[in-house]
Amino acid sequence: MIGAFAVGLVITVVAALLPALRAARIPPIAAMQDVATPDRPLTKVTVTGGIVTAIGSALLFLGLSGNAGGSTLPTILGGVLFAFIGVALLTPLISRPVVSLLGAIFAWSVPGKLGRLNSGRNPRRTAITAAALMVGIALVTGVTVILDSAKGSIGALAEDTIKAELVISGAQSGPRPPSFDPAVLEKAAAIPGVRLVDGEYGDMGKINGENTWLSATSNVAALQQIFGAKATAGDISRLGPDQMLVSSDTAKSRSLSVGSPVSVQLSRGDARTYTVTGIYASSQLTNPVVLPGAAAKNFAIPQPIQGFIQLAPGARVADVQPQVETLLADSPEVSVADRAAFIKQQTSSLDGLLRMIQILLALAIVIAVLGIINTLALSVLERTRELGLLRAIGLRRSQTMRMITVEAVVISVFGALLGVAVGSGLGAAVVRALKDEGITDLVLPWGQMALFLGLAAIIGVVAAVLPAVRAPGSTSWAPSPTSEVQG
């Protein structure tokens, strides 16, 4: 609470600093005349935005080209941040041509043409109004790109790697993963049409005093036949009581080789020495250490947490799956599913995470809507004489409301379009940075991006309701010699 208060106070003071300085520079003589405020040039903000964007682009290029050494991900994330800020600063420059292009859709009528011109005549105000919406939609789009790419990569990897038609598993909802009776594995192996059954156990233990995730298997042949592991040293097709297999990454980080003795401390019992007899190529779906099935008796959960069933050629999933389900009648927390359903289950947690993030970022979009409402309300207040003159020369009340609505829709769609473009680009950069972590497929959520643009148009209409209702009521007009009828 203290941190939130401090951040809110500091941001408010910083936001008020520049307007306060500009207000202090207004000369007293200005009180004696009616002065139209001229548009300030965009040179400074454009140059600053160009420099910041160039820095971000350089960091992104450095990280994506692999020349950042061991700091690839921080370099790319830094580039994303600088590029994001740079684009925000360049928004006034971008707004004029883009808003003009978007407004052309509504230029078939006089109110539409006036709304188009009004939205483009003050690039700074348009950019500041659209920037809030741009930030919210860019964050939503970027996170969606990253998580959808992660889901696609995990699904593609599992589909290509797991050679088991049926998988026994359960969704973990607590600190301990669901498990099932080891006897299920033996009974499943006896079902006609089943070729290979593997039970996977898991626990956190210590290897030579260092915490490591350990696994045990009931059938070591599954490492090659189900998970497609390839030996890089030694033999990974068999495993004795005091032997262990390790991945190539683990062997490298722990300085292990075939024949190395390793002290292993499990959750139960005393430390025991195992000998490395084989090393296999690391992948996203293989565990760092594999112990014989007998070691699982000293695990915190001495029962299998996953089971993989490979069918013989010609066997049908529809015939075997009901029989396995019968074996799991006493374990309601786990179920058997085909490979596609298992992959969907494993990626479902990302869907929940994405929904949570989208709900949080929706608050930022709500704030952006309030910003559009405020900007339009101030714009209407500033243009009281102008609106009154338009009414005097024949612009009807409904046409005035349409003019304000077009202005709001153009601004909100511009912010959404910029947000979608920036979010997609920066999300793609982060996905590229996570390539070594297994996220190799770039997935762009085209449907959701189109939905964002459609919602932006609706947001513009909603945001224009109050200012548009107020605008036709402005009937007092007395144009001074210095006032301008713009748009």
d(CA 135, CA 369): 12
* pLDDT tens-digit series, residues 247-302: 888 888 888 888 889 898 888 888 889 999 988 888 777 788 889 888 888 888 88
Percent of the chain predicted with pLDDT > 70? 89
pLDDT digits (tens, 9 = 90+) for 80-91: 788 878 887 877
Domain boundaries, the chain: 43-158+347-473, 171-333
pLDDT of residue 10: 93
3-state secondary structure of 286: coil
The two structure tokens encoding residue 472:
């036709």
DSSP annotation string for 134-163? HHHHHHHHHHHHHHHHHHHHHHHHHHHH--
Could you tell me if residue 26 is left (phi over 0), alpha (psi between -120 and 50 degrees) or otherwise beta? Answer: beta
pTM of the model: 0.70
**HEC assignment per residue over 217-240:** ECCCCHHHHCCCCCEEEECCCCCC
CA pair distance 456, 190, nearest whole angstrom? 59
- Inter-axis angle of helices 446-463 and 397-433, to 10 degrees? 150
- CA neighbor of 440 nearest in space, from 228, 227, 149, 162: 149
Tell me the torsion sign for CA atoms 477, 478, 479, 482: negative
Contacts with 38 (C-beta within 8 Å, 6 or more apart), sequence order: none
Tell me the per-residue pLDDT of 29-38, one tens digit each, with 9 for 90 and over. 777 765 555 5
What's the pLDDT band for 40 if we cut at 50, 70, 90? low
Average pLDDT score over residue span 13-21:
87
Which residue has 């074996």 as its token pair? 327
pLDDT at 5: 92
Res. 379: pLDDT tops 90? no
Q: Which of 133, 44, 63, 219 is nearest to 409 (CA)?
A: 133
> Mapping DSSP to helix (H, G, I), strand (E, B) and coil, where does residue 245 land?
strand
Give tens-digit pLDDT for 117-170: 776 666 777 777 777 788 888 888 888 888 888 888 877 777 777 888 888 888
91, two tokens: 């928004």
The residue that leads in pLDDT, 480 or 229, is 229
**DSSP letter string, 445-456:** -HHHHHHHHHHH
| Predicted local distance difference test score (pLDDT) of residue 66 | 67
CA dist 12 → 49, 95, 115 (Å) = 22, 26, 31
User: What mean pLDDT is reported for the chain?
Assistant: 80
Which two three-digit tokens encode residue 163? 């050679």
